[in-house]
């Protein structure tokens, strides 16, 4: 009889004693996880004197619950600050996550299905033109003129000596360069971003926050969706192309429906990143 208590029928069916021990361990672990949440809730129903005199564990038994703390932050002196921060987060986080998902998924599809060979010389020329525009703006040249001149110089160099550039990058190099942007600590670019939005008169606006979070989360979306889209069989797209579907139709009607699990997971991932950041 005692052996029956310790005998397991199979790997998935433990013995009665094993079940009891398992449930005891799981119950203890659940208590450790849930007790801080319980303590957070009951503490919010206390007045300051009860918090200082405690601990009181059970409402209506150890102490009389009060909604003074909730009234103070929702309809009292802190209501404006509390509701404004929640409203800002509710607007900025989903919007930036959705925009990053739209831009990142299309870029990921392009990196998977198209072959890009940007030349290193052209990239260095573009960087040099951007630096030229920044220097010109620093010395007082209107930014419209500086940007137009930098674009003109870039195309002139590209159309004249650009053909001599031989070394080129591939899709994997582009993807690695994009994800490498996440290696840079965000605090390192806070001052340049602040000055940029100050010059554009976008300080203290939703637009500035949304642009910042879209740019910072875009490499993650591209990297994750690139790996997911690469698992979709290209034969499905070839069949759609044979039936006369355009590239945009293939992406909208074939690739996106198959990539819904990856899109949802990536959206939630980026949403949590933005929500915790703001």
Torsion sign over Cα 270, 271, 277, 278: positive
> pLDDT at position 69, please?
85
CATH architecture for residues 81-116+170-277:
Orthogonal Bundle (1.10)
- pLDDT per residue, tens digit, the chain (278 aa), is 566 666 666 666 667 777 788 889 999 999 999 999 999 999 988 888 888 887 878 888 888 888 888 888 888 777 777 788 888 888 999 999 999 999 999 999 999 999 888 888 888 888 999 998 888 888 888 888 888 999 998 888 888 887 777 888 888 888 888 888 878 777 888 888 888 888 888 888 899 999 999 998 999 999 999 999 999 999 999 999 998 988 889 999 999 999 999 999 999 999 998 888 75
Beta bridge partners of 248: none
> pLDDT at position 101, please?
95
CA angle, 259 as apex, 256 and 263 as ends, to 5°?
100
Q: What is the pTM of this model?
A: 0.73
What are the boundaries of each domain within the chain? 2-66, 81-116+170-277, 118-168
> pLDDT at position 278, please?
58
- How far separated are the first and last CA of the chain, in Å rounded? 61
C-alpha 137/C-alpha 236 separation (Å) is 50
C-alpha 222/C-alpha 178 separation (Å) is 8
> pLDDT at position 107, please?
92
Residue among 260, 203, 197 nearest 232 (CA): 260
Beta bridge partners of 168: 119
């Amino acid at each position: 009889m005692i052996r029956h208590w310790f005998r397991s029928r199979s790997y998935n069916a433990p013995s009665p004693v094993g079940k009891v021990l398992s449930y005891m361990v799981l119950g203890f672990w659940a208590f450790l996880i849930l007790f801080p949440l319980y303590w957070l809730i009951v503490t919010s129903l206390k007045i300051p004197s009860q918090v200082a005199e405690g601990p009181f564990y059970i409402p209506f038994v150890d102490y009389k619950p009060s909604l003074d703390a909730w009234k103070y932050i929702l309809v009292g002196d802190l209501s404006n600050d509390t509701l404004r921060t929640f409203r800002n987060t509710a607007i900025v986080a989903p919007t930036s996550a959705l925009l990053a998902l739209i831009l990142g998924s299309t870029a990921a599809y392009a990196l998977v299905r198209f072959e890009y060979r940007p030349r290193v010389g052209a990239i260095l020329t573009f960087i040099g033109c951007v630096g030229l525009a920044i220097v010109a703006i620093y010395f007082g040249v209107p930014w419209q003129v500086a940007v137009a001149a930098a674009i003109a110089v870039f195309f002139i160099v590209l159309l004249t000596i650009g053909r001599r550039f031989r070394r080129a990058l591939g899709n994997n190099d582009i993807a690695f360069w994009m994800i490498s942007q996440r290696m840079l600590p965000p605090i390192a670019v806070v001052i340049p971003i602040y000055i940029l939005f100050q010059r554009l008169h976008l300080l203290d606006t939703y637009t500035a926050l949304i642009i910042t979070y879209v740019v910072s989360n875009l490499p993650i979306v591209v990297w994750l969706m690139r790996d997911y889209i690469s698992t979709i069989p290209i034969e499905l797209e070839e069949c759609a192309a044979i039936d006369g579907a355009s590239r945009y139709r293939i992406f909208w009607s074939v690739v996106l429906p198959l990539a819904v699990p990856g899109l949802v997971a990536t959206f939630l991932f980026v949403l949590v990143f933005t929500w915790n950041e703001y």
